[in-house]
Every structure is written in structure tokens, then in C-alpha cells.
């Protein structure tokens, strides 16, 4: 069984093809890093798998079934965390609101649901954090707490959109370690998007590189090379590797650094930018 399959999938947003006839397969239980410049379709890919963005042509299947909205076998952590950061509510109430938030009516937080919440919190070591006000947590702690929500309903596929954004390197490592542990303990497939490959490089099984509307998946050594990325972007790209660190350069611009700076500029939705920054 494959966790996520794109077959010649084209996704169009605002008259631009974010993905054009992209094909790739993520196997069950593998940890895949999703990379690519701003506007290359990382978020769009996840939203399409969730059924939130329509496919213009081609097909997407999740766990061998067609895409459906509200699919409970997918756990999602959006890049835009919403209004939780400024709240004074306890982490527990935030996670609980997600656990029963999809139901209308007079749903109560019963024993079974509480157990489910505790189970999710335990898997990201956030049981203690959940007692505190979310506004008091550090960036890394908050990320862990929010990550627990993606586990509610025991999904088979996790889509984590930029969980490392605006985290210090030490916290970044903590979040990556948790993701790796989730794959090992729960044997679920994880798509983990990031601006930089380096924090992920020792943890992921494969890398999915997006660019120029296309997608390439494979081992880091095979994909993150000058020839493969140049073909993907249709431009001259060089990859410099120093031990376990990769630097992807277009001309004399470091592509990933550049992407990072743009994100820092406060643009929440990358697809509003022009083309890929290559």
C-alpha cells in the first residue's frame, strides 16, 4: 500500500500551474522530507492531499483511496497555526478543541476522548506542557504541543507543513527527532516540508524535491545533485556538499537561504509570489 500517490497531477491556483503533471509515490511508513523553493507547491501538495485544493487533471490517492475532505486517516499540521499563539488558554483545551471540534451537537469530552488526547500528548512528550498556557510556551514547546493534534484519530499519514519555521536550531533538532520517533513507533508515513534540507538530512528516508511544476522523489544522494535539480528547475543549479551538509546554489545564490529570507518577510502564502525563486 502506498501512503500518497500523485499521478500526472496538475494543480492550478490563480491561473498558474503550481504542479503540472507531477507524479510520485510515498510508501507506507516512510519519512519523506519535502523541499523546494517558495512557490514550488509544498503547501499546495498537502492541501491537495487533504481535498482542500482541487486537482485540475490527473489523480491523487491517499492510502490507495481517492482524496476526500475531512479524511481522518491523515494528520495535518498547517503552516499557519491560526490564533493560538496569543491565547492564554491551556494547551490541553486547545488540543481538546481540535479533538472534538469537527462535530456539531452537544458532544462531550468523554473518557475515551480524554484517553485519545493523552495518548497523542504522550507521543510528543507534551503531557506536562499541556497544563500550561499556550502563550507561555517557547516556540519549540508550542510546536510539539500542536504536533500532538496531528496524531488525533490515529492517522496513517502525517502532513507536517514547515514545522521548523522560526525555530532555533536546537529546537529544530528536537522536532525532527520527534517526527522520526513517530515513524518508528507508530509506523506511519510522514511528509515533512522544510526550507532547508540540512536539519532533516540524517532523519529522513527519502526526499521529495519540488520545482518548476515537477516533483522528484528518491534518496538524498540521488536527488539533491546538480544535474537532477537543474533538470527539475530548468536552470543551472549546483549542489555543494560538505560532509552531511548540503548547499543548493543557483548561479551564486543559495536557493534555500533565499527562500528562507522571503518567508521571514512575513508572506504567509507563498503561492502569491511569482515563479519559483531560482
Residues of this chain that interact with other proteins (CB under 8 A) are: 47, 50, 52, 69-70, 72, 74, 76-78, 80-84, 87-90, 93-94, 97-98, 100-107, 133, 136, 149
* Beta strand segments in 107-176, E: 157-160
Q: What are phi and psi of 62, to 5 degrees?
A: -115, 120
Q: Residue 75 — φ and ψ, nearest 5°? A: -100, 135
The residue (of 81 and 115) whose beta carbon lies closer to other proteins is 81
User: Residue 236 CB, nearest distance to other proteins (Å)?
Assistant: 36
Residue pair 240/250 in contact (Cβ under 8 Å)? The answer is: no
Minimum distance from residue 201 beta carbon to other proteins (Å): 28
How many residues would you count in the chain?
278
Q: What whole-number distance in Å separates Cα of residue 188 and Cα of residue 8?
A: 25
Return the H-helix or E-strand segment holding 65: strand 65-66
Distance CA 120, CA 257 (A): 34
Phi and psi of 122, rounded to 5°? -60, -35
φ, ψ (nearest 5 deg) of residue 23: -130, 135
Q: Give me the least distance between CB of 181 and other proteins, in Å please.
A: 22
What's the CA gap between 67 and 51, in Å, rounded? 6
Rounded Cα gap, residues 28 and 1, in angstroms: 6
Amino acid at each position: 500500500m502506498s501512503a500518497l500517490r500523485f499521478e500526472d497531477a496538475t494543480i492550478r491556483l490563480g491561473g498558474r500551474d503550481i504542479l503540472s503533471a507531477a507524479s510520485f509515490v510515498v510508501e507506507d511508513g516512510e519519512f519523506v522530507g519535502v523541499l523546494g523553493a517558495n512557490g514550488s507547491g509544498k503547501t499546495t501538495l498537502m492541501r491537495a492531499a487533504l481535498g482542500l485544493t482541487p486537482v485540475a487533471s490527473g489523480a491523487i490517492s491517499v492510502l490507495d483511496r481517492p482524496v476526500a475532505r475531512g479524511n481522518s486517516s491523515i494528520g495535518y499540521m498547517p503552516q499557519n497555526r491560526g490564533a493560538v499563539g496569543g491565547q492564554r488558554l491551556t494547551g490541553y483545551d486547545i488540543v481538546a478543541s481540535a479533538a472534538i471540534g469537527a462535530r456539531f451537537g452537544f458532544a462531550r469530552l468523554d473518557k475515551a476522548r480524554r484517553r485519545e488526547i493523552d495518548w497523542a500528548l504522550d507521543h510528543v512528550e507534551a503531557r506536562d506542557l499541556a497544563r500550561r498556557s499556550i502563550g507561555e510556551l517557547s516556540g519549540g514547546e508550542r510546536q510539539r504541543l500542536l504536533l500532538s493534534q496531528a496524531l488525533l484519530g490515529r492517522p496513517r499519514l502525517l502532513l507536517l507543513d514547515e514545522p521548523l519555521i522560526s525555530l532555533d536550531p536546537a529546537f529544530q533538532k528536537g522536532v525532527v527527532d520527534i517526527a522520526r520517533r513517530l515513524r518508528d513507533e507508530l509506523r506511519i508515513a510522514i511528509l515533512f516540508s522544510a526550507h532547508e534540507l540540512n536539519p532533516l538530512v540524517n532523519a529522513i528516508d527519502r526526499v521529495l524535491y519540488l520545482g518548476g511544476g515537477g516533483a522528484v522523489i528518491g534518496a538524498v544522494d540521488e536527488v539533491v545533485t546538480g544535474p537532477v535539480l537543474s533538470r527539475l528547475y530548468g536552470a543551472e543549479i549546483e549542489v555543494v556538499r560538505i560532509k552531511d551538509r548540503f548547499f543548493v546554489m543557483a548561479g551564486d545564490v543559495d536557493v534555500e537561504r533565499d527562500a528562507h529570507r522571503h518567508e521571514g518577510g512575513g508572506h504567509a502564502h507563498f503561492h502569491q509570489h511569482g515563479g519559483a525563486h531560482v
